[in-house]
Amino acid sequence: MTTRTESTTMTATPTILFVCVHNAGRSQMAAGYAQALGGDRVQVLSAGSAPKDPINPIAIQAMAEDGIDIAGNQPKILTTDAVRESDAVITMGCGDACPIFPGKRYEDWELTDPAGKGIDDVRPIRDEIKTRVQALLAELLPTEASA
């Protein structure tokens, strides 16, 4: 995992942007966990450098097994505005597609792409994403216990 912080300016309710190539798997799962675990203490965005419809049905199934519904989400294109609005930008396999702005926290999570994989292969990816989101929320929301 690579972490790069341009500065430490964080808003009262931090905005987290999760980015992967297609915005159909990893970033959607991460956003689902961040929203469920962070509640109204965080704003959550997700996007892709080359979005692909629809969201991976196996990712939807894996998240549903953990009680989180991402079925209604739609892949979105990564925009400069989304990055600008965010306090933390978490990328997953999209390399240099994400613009860099001062004052943002950047992390690159090396995670296997769930595209084309069965449920037994996606569950460990989901679990790794959950662990990383929990750690991220604990860092961003240090005054409250994370779920």
Q: Which of 31, 47, 94, 111 is catalytic?
A: 94
**What is the dihedral angle through the alpha carbons of 106, 147, 111, 29, rounded to the nearest 10 degrees?**
-100
The alpha carbon dihedral of 16, 44, 27, 23 has a sign of negative
94 is catalytic: yes
66 is catalytic: no
Q: Which of 30, 98, 129, 137 is catalytic?
A: 98
In a 3-state reduction of DSSP, which class is residue 134? Answer: helix
Distance of alpha carbon 22 from the chain centroid: 12
Q: Which of 16, 17, 20, 133 is catalytic?
A: 20
20 is catalytic: yes
Say which residues have a Cβ less than 8 Å from residue 136's Cβ, sequence separation at least 6: 16, 34, 88, 90, 107
- Active-site residues, by number, are 20, 94, 98
